[in-house]
Structure 1
Amino acid sequence: MPKAKKKRRHTYNYNIDRKKLKRKAKKKSAPRIPCDPIRNAWDNKKCVARNLADMGLAIDPNKSLPISKNKEPQVDETEQQQEKVIYKPYVIEGLQALANLPSKQTMGISSDMIHYVRYMIENYGEDYKVNRIL
């Protein structure tokens, strides 16, 4: 009759730095794309250059708009740029919509401080000796 197998307990390995392991795994994972239109259209099966080309974006601006030594652009270059097919035009439209949104103007101080100063000016006016702000 065979012997019963002993269960091996999981022991902690003191030779491994868990912090380094976590950092290493974090580096290997794919980065999160902060731009919503690009993130939604991204295909993980394709390379970066192919993804951006499908969206109509350039991976290298120096190659997409080369600086020629002649002042006037050549006809061949403009025709080559127009021949490129954009498979995902909604990405460019989404980026343009995001760029056209009005941005909130931020001041150098927080909104709570603005409300506090407004309250103090309404109550006390220019008399700063009555109640000091800080």
Structure 2
Amino acid sequence: MPSAKKHRRQTLNYKQNKKRLWKKVKRKTEVHIPCKQIKGSWDSTKSMKQNLSEMGIAVDPNAVMPLPKPNLVFPTLITDIEREKKKPGIQKPNVVKEMEVEADLGEREKKFQLPVDDVFFCTYMLDKYKEDYKAMARDSRNAYQLTPKQVRNKIREFKRSKLQYQKYLDSKQDKTVNKDSMET
């Protein structure tokens, strides 16, 4: 019985551009560095370990700060002294400083916004039913026939969009103030 595998001779595909294919392969093998500080001072002729040690960044955190061994009775100071002697000179200290400055600034706040139709849906439902999600699911304006949990999640998203939810709360407050002033 013959084998299922067939060994065919490789033929050259003349339709493919070999130069373009090689560029794709080369692009895939290149190192992708999302951090702009590291990317700016990266030397492609050196290895990753050499590059990071020059910047003062640890490649292996266990090598820099090993876990203490529980079997030792007396802590040894010799290992700390040896570790300090082995530290290579940081040739690019500006990288770490720039990263620290960026970390101190904190993350940018993401401005999350819902589509206008969803905002109208959520405001109508909240005005009419407050927090009764089962009643919201049965409402005739629930065109997409969302379940109570889906309605709840949509309203949670609406509450997370700070600007839109704040506008809703402000308009709700204005309505209550206007009602109070008309009554007096």
The answer for the alignment partner of 1:101 in structure 2 is 105
Percent identity between matched residues is 24
Structure 1 residue 133: Cα displacement: 7.2
TM-score, reference length from structure 1: 0.62
Gaps of 5+ in 1: 1-11
Structure 1 residue 36: Cα displacement: 1.0
SS at match of 1:126: helix
The answer for the alignment partner of 1:13 in structure 2 is 14
SS at match of 2:46: coil
Q: Which amino acid aligns with 1:57?
A: I
CA distance in 1: counterparts of 2:36 and 2:77, whole angstroms: 36
- Give runs of aligned pairs for residues 4-43 of structure 1, distance below 5 A: 13-14=14-15, 21=22, 23-28=24-29, 30-43=30-43
Residues paired across the two proteins, number: 119
Q: CA 1:132 to 1:98, structure 2 compared with 1: closer, same or farther past 3 Å?
A: same
Q: Which structure is higher in helix share?
A: 2
1:61 aligns with 2:43: no
CA distance in 2: counterparts of 1:24 and 1:71, whole angstroms: 54
Structure 1 residue 116: Cα displacement: 4.4
CA distance in 2: counterparts of 1:58 and 1:133, whole angstroms: 55
Structure 1, 58-67 or 112-121: larger mean CA deviation: 112-121
SS at match of 1:67: coil
CA distance in 1: counterparts of 2:109 and 2:116, whole angstroms: 14
1:86 aligns with 2:87: no
Structure 1, 42-51 or 72-81: larger mean CA deviation: 72-81
Structure 1 residue 121: Cα displacement: 1.8
Gaps of 5+ in 2: 1-12, 130-135, 145-184
TM-score, reference length from structure 2: 0.48
Structure 1 residue 51: Cα displacement: 0.9
RMSD: 3.7
